[in-house]
């Protein structure tokens, strides 16, 4: 028998076997369509809502609770700052920005991250620390070499008065080296997904402590969520007392809080942190809340003068409060329907 004839018989046999299998299966199993006919038919749909009653014909439309623009006005605040962001505090909705992703030196705004790391380390706030030459900064305020303070006093001097010596002493009092502390600062920034933030030391004196205004605004939000940080940053003046000496007054560096830069914020809650070195110029990150209904955060980096950072932050906040409506404001629901 030739090979071709053998291959033909093999193929024909396989085909015949397949036909037989299909015939047997059709007898053994009813068609799917026949089985489906035995399933019960679906009943009319019953609509249930909040209380189990009948469903309304038209469901309400849900709108995100974000500030909504009341008009077509463009922000006309005169800015000397190089990088700026203005956002709603609750939802992080950006209301205005200028070079918000440009990375710049933070200066003493770095102390916000130092504060967050100190909170994580949870030191003994009653512990007494001596100001030694290796932690003292020549341009520091309110503390002197040889003086002793509680950790809690140093905390307030560092955040309210922006003392570099106080921050250095706090790092020492926390029981780890400065190098280890800086590692924790950068790890914290990564954990919070603040991708542009980089730290090389805890005070902000080094120009290589950098970040964008967008990430700094987010860092401010995380910082102010902690009561200890928030309480210090909304304090206009504080009396610190070296051990065995008379108390001395520490003024905040935030001139919006002291009203030294005129503003109409009245009983608004203001909490912010300043920063300055030559390469950064004048920086300011602040949260301003109007009676619990409206709250904004704004960050200005690289303003021309000491006062300009405050006046520009003030004017940005005023512009937002004038041209945006928040949930609960008159006319908000009408804007939400448009």
Question: Helix or strand or coil: residue 42?
Answer: coil
Average of per-residue pLDDT across 61-88: 90
pLDDT score recorded for residue 214: 99
Q: Taking the CB of residue 99, how many other CB atoms lie within 10 A of it?
A: 17
More confident residue, 6 or 32: 6
Q: What is the mean pLDDT of the chain?
A: 88
Read off the pLDDT band of 34 (50, 70, 90). very low
User: Per CATH, which fold does 77-325 belong to?
Assistant: Beta-lactamase (3.40.710)
Tens digit of pLDDT for each residue in 236-276? Answer: 999 999 999 999 999 999 999 999 999 999 989 999 999 99
pLDDT for 63 equals 55
Q: What is the DSSP letter of 88?
A: E
CA-atom Rg of the chain in angstroms: 33
DSSP string, 54-80: PPPSSPPPP-----EE-S-PPP-----
Cβ partners under 8 Å of residue 31, min gap 6: none
Q: Where are the alpha helices (DSSP H) in the chain?
A: 3-28, 32-36, 111-121, 151-160, 164-173, 178-191, 213-224, 227-233, 255-258, 308-323, 332-337
Asked if 200 and 106 touch (Cβ cutoff 8 Å), the reply is no
The model scores a pTM over 0.75? yes
Which residues, listed in sequence order, are joined to residue 97 by a DSSP beta bridge? 85
pLDDT digits (tens, 9 = 90+) for 108-156: 999 999 999 999 999 999 999 999 999 999 877 799 999 999 999 999 9
Q: Residue 69 pLDDT more than 60?
A: yes
pLDDT of residue 127: 98
SS3 of 303, please?
Answer: strand
Residue whose entry in the numeric block shows the structure tokens 């950068």: 186
Match 């106080």 to its residue by tokens: 166
Residue 217 has pLDDT above 60, yes or no: yes
Mean pLDDT is lowest, of 16-25, 113-122, 155-164, for: 16-25
End-to-end CA distance of the chain: 86
pLDDT of residue 286 exceeding 70, the answer is yes
192, two tokens: 């919070």
Q: Please state whether beta strands 269-277 and 248-251 pair in parallel, antiparallel, or not at all (unpaired).
A: unpaired
pLDDT at 48: 47
Give residue 102's pLDDT.
Answer: 99
pLDDT the model gives residue 32: 42
Domain boundaries, the chain: 3-30, 77-325
Average pLDDT over residues 269-290: 98
Q: Contact 122/218 with Cβ under 8 angstroms?
A: no
Question: Measured between alpha carbons, how far is 193 from 213 in angstroms, rounded to an integer?
Answer: 14
Structure tokens that stand for 267 in this block: 């009983």
Cα–Cα distance measured from residue 207 to residue 108, given in angstroms and rounded to the nearest whole number? 10
277 Cα distance to chain centroid: 24
- Looking at residue 33, what is its pLDDT? 42
Nearest to 318 by CA among 266, 267, 270, 264: 264
Give the mean model confidence (pLDDT) for residues 57-81. Answer: 82
Per-residue pLDDT at 166 exceeds 80? yes
Lowest-confidence segment of 27-41, 47-61, 86-100 by average pLDDT: 27-41
The span from the CA of 48 to the CA of 110, in Å, is: 54
């Amino acid at each position: 028998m030739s090979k071709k004839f053998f291959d033909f018989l093999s193929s024909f046999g396989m085909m015949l076997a397949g036909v037989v299998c299909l015939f047997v299966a059709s007898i053994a199993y009813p068609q799917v369509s026949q089985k489906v006919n035995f399933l019960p038919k679906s009943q009319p749909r019953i609509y249930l809502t909040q209380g189990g009653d009948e469903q309304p014909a038209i469901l309400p439309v849900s709108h995100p609770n974000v500030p909504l623009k009341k008009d077509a006005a463009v922000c006309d605040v005169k800015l000397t700052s190089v990088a700026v962001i203005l956002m709603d505090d609750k939802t992080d909705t950006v209301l205005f920005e200028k070079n918000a992703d440009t990375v710049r030196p933070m200066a003493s705004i770095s102390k916000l991250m130092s504060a967050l790391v100190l909170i994580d380390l949870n030191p003994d706030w009653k512990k007494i620390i001596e100001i030694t030459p290796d932690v003292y900064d020549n341009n520091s305020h309110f503390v002197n070499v040889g003086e002793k303070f509680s950790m809690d006093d140093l905390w307030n001097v560092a955040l309210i008065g922006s003392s570099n010596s106080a921050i250095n002493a706090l790092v020492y009092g926390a029981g780890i080296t400065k190098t280890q502390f800086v590692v924790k600062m950068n790890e914290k920034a990564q954990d919070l997904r603040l991708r542009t933030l980089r730290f090389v030391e805890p005070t902000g004196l080094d120009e290589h402590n950098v970040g964008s205004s967008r990430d700094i605004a987010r860092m401010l939000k995380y910082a102010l969520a902690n009561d200890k940080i928030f309480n210090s940053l909304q304090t206009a003046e504080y009396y610190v007392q070296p051990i065995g000496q008379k108390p001395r007054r520490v003024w905040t560096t935030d001139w919006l809080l002291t009203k030294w830069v005129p503003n109409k914020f009245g009983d608004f809650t203001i909490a912010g942190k300043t920063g300055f070195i030559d390469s950064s110029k004048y920086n300011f990150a602040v949260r301003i809340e109007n009676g619990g209904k409206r709250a904004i955060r704004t960050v200005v980096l690289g303003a021309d003068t000491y006062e300009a950072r405050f006046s520009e932050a003030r004017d940005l906040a005023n512009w937002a409060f004038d041209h945006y409506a928040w949930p609960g404001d008159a006319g908000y629901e009408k804007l939400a329907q448009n």
